[in-house]
Structures are given as structure tokens and as C-alpha cells.
Amino acid sequence: MLRTSASRVLDDSDRDEALALLDSDPVANVFVASRVRTVGLNQARLGGQMWGFGPRGGLVSLCYAGANLVPVNAGPEAVHAFADRARKQGRRCSSIVGPADAVSLLWERLEPHWGRARAIRWAQPVMAISQKSPVPPDPLVRRVRPEEFDIVLPACVAMFTEEVGVSPNLGDGGALYRTRVSELIRIGRSYARIEDGRVVFKAEIGAVTPFACQVQGVWVDPELRGQGFAVAGMAAVVEAALSCFAPVVSLYVNDFNTPARAVYRKVGFHEVDTFMSVLF
């Protein structure tokens, strides 16, 4: 049986082994795999640490410990090891997110030490699609241009606040969030339908690997909801993502968000996993 002592901080020498583990479940692990492929495992570039469970050459589980705490392929032994390390380090993340079984056990171990969470999303279906939607795509959904940053940013802030429950402008005045929005626009992963300077629909492709990509930030102007913009807009984003980024398009959604789940099913997404998020 593996012991808690097998938990260790990884570095770039572990990159290939970590990626092999991440790629064994490319949809569930797309966020962490995207980070590792982009910047490696150096702490400064990664924006946190990557913890491994298992000896070199026998890695069985990972945990990304940055702005989010994200367990990967973590059974009970690994979760206990990661929880011990997280408890000793103290809470530095704004959320714990990942497969529901692992996150639930991780939070059970950490809650007595970290205190109550601001919100817990117990069940978040992970959905995926690997072919064009049967729904006609909205021809007006396109990549956002850099000069449209000031038009799109308020919609991004509104989406984040509605989804997470707090404004991304808290803390640093929104500087980090603005940088992220700007970066996604710059690299061509921000899509929107914009009419007369107004964002009707928007979504971003937040994580990309050669095997999967993940859509985030799906939003329709509240005054225009229920008119089909989300379905046609998502069909357009799926088509673009399959053409430009990866063979599988994924996302995760709160189980209580019935309208969004209905939109994604109509577009052609199907449920493949269940995530859980603990928000601080």
C-alpha cells in the first residue's frame, strides 16, 4: 500500500510522466494538462505546485495546488496524502475542483482545518461532444478582436459574478482577471456575437490539449435569454473548437442550472463525469 510519505512536489523532470497520467483521462484532466503542456512543472511558471503521489517512475496521482486545488486520478490514499500537505501548507487556493469523489473526500479532510466554505457545488456534470452539433450554428458568432476588449470585459465580469457569486474585481481590483480575458482574446480563444457594441452571446475556450478542450464563461445577455442565442452560439463555438483546437469539446455545469443543461443537451453534449467544487 502506498504511504502518505509518497506525496512529493514535482518538477520539470517529472513532466513526461505527469502528462502520461493526465492524458489517460483527457476530458477530466484538460485544465491541469493544458497548464502543464504550456508552462511545465516549474513552480514559478506554473503559478503553484504540482504534487505527485507515488515514486518516480510509479506516479499514480497528481494534485495541482495553485489558484485552485485540483486532484487528478486520486484515490483515497492519494487524497489523504494531498490533504495532509494542503493542511500543513494552509489554504492558498480560491477553490477545490475536480472529480466529485476525490474532492468530497479532500474537503472532508480539510474542512476542520480550513473552516467553512463560501459555497459548495456538490454535483457538476461534465459534458462532452466530439462532432458538429445537429443545431445550425449562429453565423454571427466569431472570434473577439483585441480592440473589442472593453466591449467584452463587462460581459465577462457579469458572467463570473453570476456563476461564482463574487466579482472578479475584488482583491486586486480585477487586474488578474482582465489579464486573463485579454490573453484569451489575443490567442483567439474568445468567441462572441456582438451587435452594435452589445454582447449578445459569449464563451471562451479556457483550456486546450491535443486531445480535448474546455469551454468556459458561457453567457447570454439577460434581456435576450430564452430566444435561442445560447443554443446556436454554442453550436458555433463547438464547430470552431473542433476545427481549430481539439477533437473533443467539454465543459462542466452546475446540476441545478436546468436551462444551461438543456441548452448543452440540445447542442449535442452528453454527460461523461461529475465534478464538485468548493468555493472560498
C-alpha neighbours within 13 Å on the C-beta side of residue 132:
10
What is the per-residue pLDDT for 3?
Answer: 46
pLDDT in tens, 22-33: 999 999 999 999
pLDDT in tens, 77-103: 999 999 999 999 999 999 999 999 999
Per-residue confidence band for 143, with pLDDT thresholds at 50, 70 and 90: very high
pLDDT in tens, 100-135: 999 999 999 999 999 999 999 999 999 999 999 999
Q: What angle do CA 202, 124, 184 make, to 5 degrees?
A: 30
Residues 6+ apart with CB under 8 A from 142: 191, 192, 193
What is the per-residue pLDDT for 10?
Answer: 97
Q: What's the whole-number mean pLDDT along residues 214-231? A: 97
What is the per-residue pLDDT for 4?
Answer: 47
Q: Helix 100-114 crosses helix 76-89 at what angle (to 10 degrees)?
A: 30
Q: Look at the pTM and tell me if it is higher than 0.85.
A: yes
Mean pLDDT computed over every residue of the chain: 96
Instruction: Express as a percent the part of the chain with pLDDT over 70.
Output: 98
What is the per-residue pLDDT for 171?
Answer: 82
With 60 as the cut, is the pLDDT of residue 1 above it? Answer: no
Q: What's the whole-number mean pLDDT along residues 68-79? A: 97
pLDDT in tens, 181-207: 999 999 999 999 999 999 999 999 999
Q: Are 98 and 124 in contact (CB under 8 A)?
A: no
With 80 as the cut, is the pLDDT of residue 35 above it? Answer: yes
